[in-house]
Amino acid sequence: MPRVEQNKSGLGNGIACAITGGAIGYAAKYALPLTTQEMDSDYKHVIRLIKENTMRAKVNFLDEIKNLPTRSLAHDAYIKSSKDFAKRSVCTYNLAIKKIRPAAPFIVAGAIAGLVTSFVRNVFKTDVN
């Protein structure tokens, strides 16, 4: 008849899972999209300013470049890269908003999820010898 043994390393496993869950929670701080509370009127105002200013600067510079009799490869590379400048600026601002999010709720939620996962795994784990 098979014999079932108890796993006596549940506490160490729980701590390891909690630490792993906390690390995953901290990574989720940056991975999760911005919430509607974070995209308030101030956020929308800054995004509008970024788009307006980058568009104005791009148009002014592109007008100057287009009037040149000959353009260098650097000018062509700038024209190509400037098309995505506003998009990159918005992404950078979004990352800055995510950076100022408090990390504690994400870490605690991840650690709790890790502990629950460890508990469920230990409850349903059976070693048959």
Same domain, 32 and 65: no
Same domain, 122 and 70: no
Same domain, 112 and 86: no
Same domain, 106 and 126: yes
Same domain, 15 and 47: no
Same domain, 6 and 59: no
pLDDT of amino acid 81: 76
- When comparing pLDDT for 61 and 36, which is higher? 36
Same domain, 92 and 60: yes
pLDDT of amino acid 3: 55
Same domain, 45 and 95: yes
Same domain, 73 and 86: yes
The phi and psi torsions of 81 (rounded to 5 degrees) equal -75, -25
Range of 75's domain?
39-100
In the chain, the number of structural domains is: 2
Each residue's pLDDT tens digit, 64-75: 777 777 878 887
Each residue's pLDDT tens digit, 74-119: 877 777 777 777 788 889 899 999 999 999 999 999 999 999 998 8
Same domain, 95 and 114: no
Same domain, 7 and 31: yes
